[in-house]
Structure 1
Amino acid sequence: MHEQNIAPWQHSHDFAMKNAKGERRTLYVLILTAITMVAEIIAGTISGSMALLADGWHMATHVAAFMITLFAYHYARKHANDPAFSFGTGKVNVLGGFASAIALAVVALLMLVESTHRLIEPQSISFDDAIAVAVIGLLINIIGAFLLKDEHSHHHDHHHDHNLHAAYMHVLADALTSLLAIFALLAGKFAGLDWLDPVMGIVGSVIVTRWAISLLKQTSPILLDRNIEPRFRQKIVASIESDADNRVSDIHIWKIGANHYSAIIAVVTHEPKPIEHYRALLAPFRQLSHLTIEVNQCQEH
């Protein structure tokens, strides 16, 4: 039995995104959004404004989405070193972003259905009350966007936090819906264009759907262990095969976190070298956070 210390050959499997500031700001936005949500749903119901109700419903799902965001941060941090997760909890934040994208899509569908109904069967609108609450909602959304934008922009280039990005997209969707609501209500009040209210609800649903699809496209490939982009895969293979007579017989590279990849690479060569040699060949690819290399000696002459 091997009795020597094996610590030098072990490493952490904590690939989760660390963003305490973003988590704290998401909590602030959650509180602001929840307060505004209640006000808009009540005002929209009393005034009869579909655009305002749509904004309130939108905010309701965003409250749920922000709760998912905060839960994802907490869960990933709590189980960061749990051996039950083969590659750590790096994908928890990505899963949070995916769940938020689903929530966005559901809201867009509800907005479309109700707006179409209101377009077919118009209802009277109390414009003054609806406009006042919609403006308050927009201001809250702008504050939320600024709180999350700083963190989202800071982490975008090098450490893409899909969880925070999803929260940011929800705030933008809220701001857009509020803006469309204000435009529709002003047009209805001063120009008599009451039909613009449900139309703006439909326009908002289409835009939010596009955002939801974009977020799904970013997160779903990671959750499905999609291989790394072909150009990076080719560079990795070239780095190994440019050395001696190495040939890569099998290669699997997939994301295990927002910016961390795991790789399993099988190499065939006539003259095998120590594993450290092949790891050195791949040292420039710093995104390979978890690397397993299999070296096979070719017996053909």
Structure 2
Amino acid sequence: MLDTKLDDWQHDHNFYAANEHGERRTRYVLLLTAITMVAEIAAGTVFGSMALLADGWHMGTHVAAFLIAIFAYRYARKHANNPDYSFGTGKVGVLGGFASAVALAAVALMMLIESVQRLLVPQEIQFNAAIGVAVLGLLINLLSALLLQDHHSHHHEHEHHHRRDHNLYAAYMHVLADALTSVLAITALLCGKYLNWQWLDPMMGIVGAVIISRWALGLIRQFSPILLDCGMNEDDRDKIRRLIERDGGNQVTDLHTWKLSEHHFAAMITIVSRHPLPSEHYKALLSGFQQLAHLTIEVNQYRERHPRSSAGRPATKN
């Protein structure tokens, strides 16, 4: 055992970025959404509005999404320093956001199927009552959107690396999608009442399903690279290589980068050098890459490969 402190050679593996503000606001929105969900599903069933039912079902998935978000916050915080997680719990929020995006895609599919059925088999709608509940749902959605704005992130938007809480962002997108379905429902109900366009009610359900599915796919594309350990962009990788290789007599032979959380990268770099220096020297060269939170460098001595003597080799046949 080495009789010395090894703090300078040890890494911090806690890459969880706490957002107590976001967690608290998500709980408020969960309560509002659950109450509105029950009201809209009940009203849509009684009054016969597909647009209103779609809005209520959509809110039901939001309840599930907000529960996922709250669970992700608590789980990440509880296990932030658990050694069983090699690089901490920084990806828990991303996983929660991904699950919310999948739920958003599922409700879009459900809306589409039910809307097509209602388009083929129209049902009588009680417009006045349905419009009242839809307006109430829209007001709740707007209030929820205000609550879920990530003020912590916007406070740092002028920093070089803008930080976003993906868990909170997915919940925010759920609320925006719900606000959209509320607007579509109100539009369809008003047109049905005053223009007798009852076909517009299920048609708006279809339009909402298409738009929401596009949002869901966008979220999935955004979160998937983080969960699949995609690396830094090509420009940043090239900058890393140039910084090391222009130092003199160095060659980067292996370079791997991957995301540890929304905001942190890890890197493993293998260097071959004619005049190798301690790894701290090469880490200092990369100090400008603040997103590199965990850096491992292997340095190898370059040795000339002398050609083997031809003596003793069997003669080649012509």
Q: Secondary structure at the match of 1:300?
A: coil
Counterparts of 2:216 and 2:27, CA distance in 1: 22
Residue-by-residue CA offset, 1:99-142 (whole Å, 9 max, x unaligned): 00000000000000000000011000011111000000000000
Out of 257, 261, 265, the position equivalent to 1:261 is 265
Counterparts of 1:8 and 1:174, CA distance in 2: 50
Out of 222, 229, 235, the position equivalent to 1:231 is 235
Q: Secondary structure at the match of 2:269?
A: strand
Out of 173, 194, 198, the position equivalent to 1:194 is 198
Number of the residue aligned with 1:102: 102
Number of the residue aligned with 1:56: 56
Number of the residue aligned with 1:85: 85
Task: Choose 1 or 2 for highest CA Rg.
Answer: 2
Q: Secondary structure at the match of 1:267?
A: strand
In proportion to residue count, which structure has more helix? 1
Number of the residue aligned with 1:180: 184
State, as a whole percentage, how many aligned pairs show the same letter.
Answer: 64
Counterparts of 1:107 and 1:175, CA distance in 2: 14
- 2:153–2:163: 8 Å Cα contact kept in structure 1? no
Q: Give the letter aligned to residue 3 of structure 2.
A: E
Number of the residue aligned with 1:167: 171
Q: Give the letter aligned to residue 12 of structure 2.
A: S
Counterparts of 1:187 and 1:167, CA distance in 2: 31
Q: Does 1:30 align with 2:30?
A: yes
Count of paired positions: 301
* Residue 7 (structure 1) shift: 2.2
Q: Give the letter aligned to residue 90 of structure 1.
A: G
RMSD across aligned positions (CA): 1.2
Counterparts of 1:48 and 1:130, CA distance in 2: 8
Q: Secondary structure at the match of 1:4?
A: coil
Number of the residue aligned with 1:137: 137
Q: Secondary structure at the match of 2:4?
A: coil
Number of the residue aligned with 2:314: none
Number of the residue aligned with 1:250: 254
- 1:152–1:165: 8 Å Cα contact kept in structure 2? no
Q: Give the letter aligned to residue 227 of structure 1.
A: G
TM-score normalised by length of structure 2: 0.93
Could you list the runs of 5+ residues in structure 1 that have no partner in the other structure?
A: none
Number of the residue aligned with 1:69: 69
Counterparts of 1:214 and 1:155, CA distance in 2: 25
- 2:153–2:164: 8 Å Cα contact kept in structure 1? no
